[in-house]
A and B are shown apart, each in its own frame.
Chain A
Amino acid sequence: MEVSLLFKIGAVGILVSVLCQILKHSQREELAFLTSLTGLLMVLFWVLPYIYDLFMTIQDLFAL
């Protein structure tokens, strides 16, 4: 869980940027847009539970 999350996000970022370059050069802009969108959503769904846990722990810890 610790650092692997960072490496996963970095890997998805690099992969998506490479894919978008390839798709752009082969004149498929909409596909490039779709891949970047899916990459973004995938990372969002990875990070979302962490954000939720963060705010739950803060609420319990600081009695907010």
Chain B
Amino acid sequence: MEIVKVAALGITGMLLGLLLKETKPEYSVYLSLAAGILVFCYMAGKLEYLFSSVLKIQEYLPLDTKYLTTLLKMIGITYVGQFSAGICKDAGYGAVASQIEVFAKLYIMVLSIPVLLALMEAIHGFLT
């Protein structure tokens, strides 16, 4: 199944990386990057199917598409931030990794502000 392929891919990448860790550490960073990208190739097809079905569900609900795209954006940002922070942590640069994660959190908060405002206005409308 897919999961066996992905696991085998990750393990080969890790073994090759360990092989090269002492003599040439930069190649182990390349290997972890390449393994991450190849695993993402498997994920892309599944994500595509997931998002198309979510869009289909969304047609039945009288929901504003703006909120759904914000949600998708947030998922994308967390994924990219997590991936790049993990790569930096593997290479030993924890400070850079934490900077990336702080920026990702900040950006998600910025994205969530309009949704919050809309909620506030809705509540304000009820009360007055």
CB of B62, distance to nearest CB on chain A (Å): 21
Q: Verify if B73 is at the interface (C-beta below 8 Å from A).
A: yes
Determine the distance from Cα of A40 to Cα of B23 in the docked complex, in whole angstroms.
13
Count of A interface residues, CB-CB < 8 Å: 30
Q: Verify if B106 is at the interface (C-beta below 8 Å from A).
A: no
Count of B interface residues, CB-CB < 8 Å: 32
Q: Verify if B103 is at the interface (C-beta below 8 Å from A).
A: no
Q: Verify if B95 is at the interface (C-beta below 8 Å from A).
A: no
Q: Which residues of B contact A20 (CB under 8 A)?
A: 23
Determine the distance from Cα of A17 to Cα of B27 in the docked complex, in whole angstroms.
10
Q: Which residues of B contact A51 (CB under 8 A)?
A: 33, 37
